[in-house]
Structure 1
Amino acid sequence: MHIKLLIAAACLLGLFSTIGAALPYPILPPLFASGASNGLNSFLGLPPKMLFGLALTINPLGLLIGNTLLGPLSDRYGRRPVLMVTTFGAALGHVLTALALLLESYPLFILARFGTGLLEGNGAVVRAMLADRLEGELRVRALSWLNGAFYLGWLAGPLLAGATVVWGITVPFWIAAGALVLTTALVAAVLPRETASLATTSWWYVARHQHAFHLLRHADLRKLFIVQFAYTCGVTAFYEFYPLWLVEFPGYGAPGIAWITAGLCAVMTLTAVFAGRPSRIAPLQRAAWSAFGGAAAIAALALGNVWLGLVAIVLFGIPNAFYNAIVPGWCAERFGALGQGAVMGLLSTTFCLANIVMALVGSVLPLVDTRLVLMLGAVLSAWAAWRLLGWRVQMAGPAATGGTGEG
């Protein structure tokens, strides 16, 4: 198997999965907020905004469950079959979404978006695939490039939708489905066949007893989960509420938000290309300083003037890209023996959980001031950075006396 083809396949999987998650964002608001009644925004006579909120939430909920389960399932049944099934299944999910829009069927739309999110939660499997087959510096660089593909997808999804919806509201979903079918074929061609684990456990047993959260019985992984949850709460507070800040303070509309978001995604993507390079500085120390940088950018957005806030939004992409390049590689080295799929699944699941929690918190704090939820995010990210530094010092103790240190 050619290493370059493997990395390219992984990046395409990450790109198209993220595109699928981000695709509906510019499409849904007009369907639910235009004032024109249709089968989607009048389901059971419920308020359109309530239906819209559920439509936005259901896909991340599927991603949360998928990231929890698919990684451990791939440890049991192999990366190749799980990736092929989930990628092709996600393509069918986009087809069902297009049919739901044509039929104006809200229940089918919700079912399709949940199923698509569930199957596109295979990012943990993609990371595990790279962690399995690459080592050392190349593994860290490849995981960084994969993160860049994920970031690019969040930009490309809305852009694809905006560019193609003029030909019909279902066209973006048909394009996404076709891209995922082609990606399934690429996975089949690039990844060699694997031998499933010799364990006789059923998939239901794996789902119930070997999901990503099962790793929390290990003390170090509990510590990692708490730190990662705090940092990603800060990140999701930033992602979810900087657009609202842009509306309230600079007075930006949709085009202005789109341009700022494009700048942020471009900075993250470019940074991810270089973030995986080797360094003499210990991984946890670099991750801690990256988390401090992210916290500083969020705090600048919450406390600074308009121009400082605009710069902070775009530059946030630099420390965040470094953090997301460092931590998965370090986890792959230190905890890989527990199952790369489960470990990467825990990282992905933590982000999804933080997304849901901060959305709930953010439904209250912005009623007082949007900057409160941003400030909370900055505090949580800074706390995570402080804990990482403490953890790094703690782990250096055993190293000084002949222990394993950071690994």
Structure 2
Amino acid sequence: MKNALLIAAACLLALFSTIGASLPYPILPPLFASGVSNNLNHFLGLPPKLLFGIALTINPLGLMIGSALLGPLSDRFGRRPVLLATALGAAAGHALTALALIVESYPLFIFARFFTGLLEGNGSVARAMLADRLDGHLRLRAFSWFNGAFYMGWLAGPLLAGLTLRWGITTPFWVAVGALVLMAALVAAVLPREAASGATTSWWHVARKNHSLNLLRYAELRILFVVQLAYTCGVTAFYEYYPLWLVETAHYGAQGIAWITAVLCGLMTFTSLVFAGRRSALAPLRRAAWNAFGVAAAVALVAAGNTAIGLAAIVLFGIPNAFYNAIMPGWCSERFGAYGQGAVMGLLSTIFCLANIMMALAGSVLTLVDTRLVLLLGAMLSAWAGWRLLAWRVSVAAPAPMAN
């Protein structure tokens, strides 16, 4: 029962945190691409698509910094206090985002999204908590369920936005505020207190000296960084730009984006909860590689296919992505756990956020020519990651070196 409550709390934290991060996905494309002028999409006279790309970039920038710092901070000061502080802080960030939309202030909107992202980079802390307290097949299953909640959040956020926009553009953000406050109460009630390690050390010292990117001193973790970055560039190109593709190609509005997202969300969550955490005779990196190829194929079909093929590919994308993201965190936890579970999970989250930033920036330029170009670029990067994983699996048969 104790493990079940722990897993449930981690999954709900992942769900509500990532719902908040993904709320703007169906709101922003119509706001910036509909042709209706307002103070948000004509800030300083810049092209609306460029402003759209910046708006997509700033939240992942905060997530990247938060992911790099929060995992190591929780290694030192404890998972529970870090999770409590970040949940309440993210709620405040969503309230500020709603205010920015009311007053139509693009600078305030950008600041609010950055601040919220900084505090929502706490997924690495929740993953590290699961890695600390679970092992073996239960850890693999817990990571799979956690990923299911994580992906549901990234994709249910747009669904929530689409379904609540009828009550005003700020309504989704106020819903996120309430959900995160409830989440903080759940964390306080369910998560056990733990002894902090080295609590006399200042948080600033830990942030400077023990952030997740320090792991790049080790050669094998540098390989992981490059491969995972390539894969997640394909994933984030898809997440960030399939809503814009739906607006331009299928002529969908916010509610249409929300409904197609709901189908994708349901399939990916079902796959994560039911199938992705099962044992397999195939080596983990081999399984990850084939699922990376599957993701690349789905993203390429969105870009290259007609409307019907693209819609089907959007939905089917969820299957290989769910499998890949059940496999890699568990494998990394087993192989690199000696470096600190918070730091390792923080590195994975940091990579995902960096990919968001890179593809948002690339897309802000490529979409000026054609939205399909950024999707094709993402497909090629994920395909390269699959090829590199097949080559890498041969060299990882030996145990990973211990951290100094």
Q: Given the two structures, how large is their TM-score scaled by the length of structure 1?
A: 0.89
In the aligned structure 2, how far is the partner of 1:55 from the partner of 1:86? Answer: 22
Distance 1:293 1:165 in 2: 34
- Please tell me the residue identity of whatever aligns with 2:346: G
Matches within 5 A, 1:48-197: 51-197=51-197
2:25 aligned partner: 25
Q: 1:201 corresponds to which residue?
A: 201
Query: Which of the two has higher C-alpha Rg?
Result: 1
**Aligned residue in 2 for 1:393:** 394
Does 2:347 correspond to 1:358? no
Distance 1:99 1:4, change over 3 A: same
Counterpart contact for 2:7–2:142, Cα < 8 Å: yes
Q: Distance in 2 between matches of 1:189 and 1:45?
A: 49
Instruction: Report deviation, 1:245.
Output: 3.7
Q: 1:315 to 1:102 in 2, by over 3 A?
A: closer
Per-residue deviation, 1:30? 6.2
| Partner in structure 1 of residue 210 of structure 2 | 210
AA at the equivalent of 2:296: A
Whole-angstrom CA distance in 1 between matches of 2:217 and 2:246: 42
* Mapped contact 2:50–2:365 kept (Cα < 8 A): no
Aligned residues: 399
In structure 1, give the amino acid aligned to 2:16.
F
**Aligned equivalents of 1:404, 1:48: Cα separation in 2:** 48
* Segment of structure 1 superposing worse, 361-370 or 178-187: 361-370
Cα gap change, 1:371/1:59 in structure 2, threshold over 3 Å: closer, same or farther? Answer: closer
Matches within 5 A, 1:249-398: 249-273=249-273, 274-396=275-397, 398=398
- Indicate the larger mover: 94-103 or 140-149: 94-103
Paired letter, 1:152: M
When residues 103 and 69 of structure 1 are mapped into structure 2, their CA distance, relative to the original with a 3 A threshold, is same
CA separation of 1:128 and 1:390: change in aligned 2, threshold 3 A = same
Point out where structure 2 has 5 or more consecutive residues left out of the alignment.
none
1:293 deviation in Å? 1.6
1:155 CA drift (Å): 3.1
Q: What displacement does 1:341 show?
A: 1.0
Shift of the alpha carbon at 1:106? 4.3
- Relative distance call for 1:317 and 1:30 in structure 2 (3 A) is closer
CA distance in structure 1 between the aligned counterparts of 2:64 and 2:334, rounded to whole angstroms:
24
Following superposition, the deviation at residue 74 of structure 1 comes to 0.7
Normalising by the residue count of structure 2, what TM-score does the alignment of the two structures yield?
0.90
Counterparts of 1:195 and 1:13 in 2: how far apart (Å)?
Answer: 21
Which range moves more in the overlay, 374-383 or 210-219? 374-383
- Rounded Cα–Cα distance in structure 2 between residues aligned with 1:66 and 1:11: 19
CA 1:47 to 1:394, structure 2 compared with 1: closer, same or farther past 3 Å? closer
Quote how far apart the aligned CAs of 1:314 are.
1.4
Amino acid at match of 1:295: A
The answer as to whether partners of 2:58 and 2:114 remain within 8 angstroms in 1 is: yes
Identity percentage of aligned residues: 75
Deviations 1:216-259 (A, max 9, x none): 00111101001101111121222233334444545555554433
- Structure 1 spans left out of the alignment, 5+ residues: none
Q: Which moved more, 1:256-265 or 1:100-109?
A: 100-109
Give the aligned residue type for 1:23.
L
Amino acid at match of 1:231: Y
What SS is found at the alignment partner of 2:164?
helix
Change (3 A) 1:248 1:198: closer
Contact 2:49-2:367 at 8 Å conserved across structures: no
Question: What do you get for the CA RMSD once the two structures are aligned?
Answer: 2.6
Residues 53-110 of structure 1, C-alpha deviation per residue, up to 9 Å, x if partnerless?
4443322221111111111111111100100110111112222233344455444433
CA apart distance, 1:379: 2.1
